[in-house]
Structure 1
Amino acid sequence: MTATLLVVDDSKSSRKVNLALLRELVGDSALYLEASGGQEALDLLAERSADLVLLDLTMPGVSGFDVLAELQRRAFKAPVVVVSADIQKLAQERVAALGAAGFIAKPIQMDALRAALTKVGVLHV
């Protein structure tokens, strides 16, 4: 089975970096999707499933917090790992309460991404 991985970030350069890091760890066997904002991500996830979502928090319009709340309402089962420069404890607690499976500080370090992917079962080391 091919894993479907979704990267959500309003910054095109961040999406590009995050996708490159994912590809380096997971390889070419996965299907990589991207969304440039929260609403685009929700629309995409209404049409198709994903096995992992890497989600930025601070985005205009529909924020990462909003996406998490909506996914929780939809009983979305796949793990969501938040990627954010907002590393305050309150933000981390809030995303955990909204069902996030992990939190990685921006810019993503390969070891942190590897650990998060292993924790949620996307990467088997």
Structure 2
Amino acid sequence: MTINHNALSSRFQVPTLKEQERKAAFRKWQAVFYSLRQLIWDRTKNNILSDAIASGAVERGDIPEEIIRQLYSEAWQEFISEYDAAFVKASVEEMVEYAKERIEKTLTLERLLELNRERSAKRFNR
């Protein structure tokens, strides 16, 4: 007897174990990628306003909230672009090593995955 795989619609087909493993590995990569991105942003975003003042883009003193929001929004877009270019081809191991060298020596894969769960829960109000 031959199994007719086409008889099951995509709604009811179960992916092969190899496909499931590939998807799980990709989800792990994504979790590390986005956790590391957030850690780097959190460490560097404090420089945005002082850099803008130092470059003369804004003047020291009372800076309107709208200008500050614009500076951070533009910096975020620039950061995302640069981060993606730097890390899109990195392996999980390379990103973990980067985090250990630049963010915190004790960071582990498990901690980065935990940070992603926390970030996702906060983002989706869970």
Please, what TM-score do these two structures have when normalized by structure 1? 0.25
Which gives a bigger RCO, structure 1 or 2 (Cα 8 Å, sep 6+)? 2
Give me the TM-score of the superposition, normalised by structure 2.
Answer: 0.25
* Larger proportion of strand: 1
Higher alpha-carbon Rg: 2
Higher helix proportion: 2
